[in-house]
Each structure stands twice: as structure tokens, then as C-alpha cells.
Amino acid sequence: MPKEASTVLCAEPACATKEKIMEYLKLADINVIAERPWDIEVHNNTFYKKVLTEGSLGLGEAYMDGWWDCMHLDQFIYQLFLSQVEKKVKRSLSAYWTYFKARMFNLQGKKRSKQVIDIHYQLGNDLYEAMLDPLMVYSCGYWDKATTLAEAQTDKFDLICRKLGLQPGMKVLDIGCGWGGFVKYAAEKYGVTAVGITLSENQAAHARKICVHLPVEILIKDYRDLNESFDRIISIGMFEHVGNKNYRTFMQVAHRALKPGGLFLLHTIGRNTSISGTDPWIHKYIFPNGQLPSIARIGGAIEKLFVMEDWHNFGSDYDKTLMAWFENFDRAWPTLKNKYGDRFYRMWKYYLLSCAGGFRAREMQLWQL
């Protein structure tokens, strides 16, 4: 092609947009010709404009709509995070709006706290039963010695029980008890009585069913309404929904509910820096109003309330957990397809595998405090 013709062609907005996205992808060693597991194949050229103008939201939505594919999504996202290419890309308006709202407003107040329950946790127990382990644990497993997902989750529970020094007769509170796996395990293996609280009716119904013959009470209750006292308190994978504007309140509630000399264990995803809000795609489709805490923000929230005894990071284990969840979900999809539909499959696949890539790149952490 003559040089002049090439110059004219590349002056077109669509061509310039494509070249810009390809330039960003090259920084992460990603090609748009699928030669390697982390390369992508673009099926709709509108993909380039959508990603350039909408950032991570556009990238995720374009995948949901089938505009691009990748052999191994987790490796693709890993490459993006590892290269830190996002620092070189101008934030989209959707990202600015998401972070602005989180900074200016309390998006996790009582009136809004059920949004994530309705959108995410009320999807259907059939989905989570297919994806999770037999105890239906929806948080990072502990893979120190485990070889299966079920082992990783029970090992995690036992690690928590041993850290807290649980003894028969102790009264334990689980803030955000999910489907009741921990309170069931602690009551059966360590002889404690337990109270679990959740805002999800689906979770509460399942938890009550599996704990029916145990000294366990499951309540649909906001943590801010707690008025009992306990020997031990745990919260596993719920703090990500609390929000920076409520961290201090959360810690004050835990402090008030804990008997003198008691122990509180917090199990939470964390991030390396302090920011407001979350990824716009995750906010819109997976965890509305979610926010990952930083070390600094947790430290500020517990000041003059608690003594920090131990800070344990096993974030790399979340990569293994998410990959195991995806394998289960993918295997069970033929039985779920008619209810949830193909676009949901691509959304859920993108969610699980992109998070796995993020943990693999150590962009996110998993802490037990």
C-alpha cells in the first residue's frame, strides 16, 4: 500500500482507536491474534471504541456480548495487572462516576445494604450449590495442605477456630454468616453455641436447615442492630460490603458485642492502596457498592478499640479457590443454562476468571486479622 494511502486510512477515528487499544495491549504482551492462551480474538470492531471510552466496564460488557474471546481469561487479566497498563490509561467517565459516588455518599448505609443481597446473593441457591464446596463456603479457602476445594474450606474453618481458641460452651457470633458453613462446623467440631447473621433470605433458609439440630441461631439482621455479647466474633468475607464510611461503626459494633478479653477475627479481601469505590464492571454486575479495604483504613478503624494480635495474608490462595469455583460452575452449566442463559454464563465466567487473574498478580490480597 502506498505510504499516502496508509496515512489517510489511519487518520480515520476507528483506525486510530484500534491502534490505541492495540498499543495498550502490547504493553501487557497481549495480541489481538489468538496465538497464545492470554491473547484475544476480536469478533466486533466496535470493541475498540467501547473499551477506549468505557474502560474496564466496556471491556467486561464487550465480553458478555461476545465481541471478543480469550482461551484463558484469567491469564489475560493477569497480564493486564502485571504490566500495570491501567496506570497508563485515562480513566473512563464511568470509573470517575463510580469513585465519585463512593467518595461523596455512604453507599452502604442501612437502606442500601440489601442491594448486593438482591442482585448477587439471592440469585439462587442452585447456582451456589453447583459452584461451591459441600458446606457452601463463599470465601477464600486455605490451601496450605489441602488438595481439594472441600479440604481447603474446612482447613480454613479449623484455622479460624484454632486462632480463636474455641472451647466448648463459648458463645460465638458470625457477622455475615452466608449459608451457615462456619457456625455448623464450629458447633459440631468445637462444641460452641453460635449466632449467625445475614441479610439474605436464601442464605438464612439454607443455614437454618443444615444447623437444625445444633445450638445455632440464624438471624436476618443488619450488623448495626446487634445488642448481644459474645466470647468470640468472626466475620468471613463480609467486610468487603461494609464501605469505608462504615468501617469505624463496624469495629465499634464488634467491640461493643465482644466480652472483655474476647477475640475478634476478620477475614477479608484487601487492596494495596486506599481508594473509594470499586471497579465499575464489578460494581454494576457483581457486587454493587462493594469496596475493598486497605491496611491503612483498617488500622484507622480499629484504633483505640482493639489490640492487633496477628495479620495473616494468604491472598495467593484465592487464585486457586476461584479457579476451583469456575471448574465447578463450568461443569454444572448444562443443568443451569435454561434458568440463567448464555449472557449470564459469560458474565459469571468473566467475574470468576478475572478475579483469579487479579489475585494471581497480587493486585488483591486475602487477610485474616
Spatial separation of the C-alpha atoms in residues 205 and 210, rounded to whole Å: 9
The pairs formed by 110-113 with CB atoms below 8 angstroms and a separation of 24 or more are: 110/222, 110/224, 112/289, 113/199, 113/222, 113/241
Nearest one of 146, 121, 75, 96 to 321, comparing CA atoms:
146
Contacts of 260 (CB under 8 A, 6+ apart): none
Q: CA-to-CA distance for 345 and 340, rounded, in angstroms?
A: 7
* Cβ–Cβ under 8 Å, residues 291 and 277: yes
Q: Report the C-alpha gap between 148 and 340 in whole angstroms.
A: 27
Computed on alpha carbons and rounded to an integer, the radius of gyration of the chain in Å comes to 22
Choosing from 70, 177, 211, 355, the catalytic residue is: 355
Residue 67 CA: distances (Å) to CA of 13, 62, 118, 173: 19, 5, 28, 46
Work out the angle at residue 273's Cα, subtended by the Cα atoms of residues 76 and 299, and round it to the nearest 5 degrees: 140
Bridge partners, 271 (sequence order): 364
Q: In terms of DSSP H, where are the helices of the chain?
A: 3-9, 13-27, 46-64, 73-83, 93-104, 115-116, 125-131, 149-164, 181-190, 201-210, 247-257, 280-285, 295-302, 316-340, 342-360
177 catalytic residue (yes or no): no
Active site residues: 355
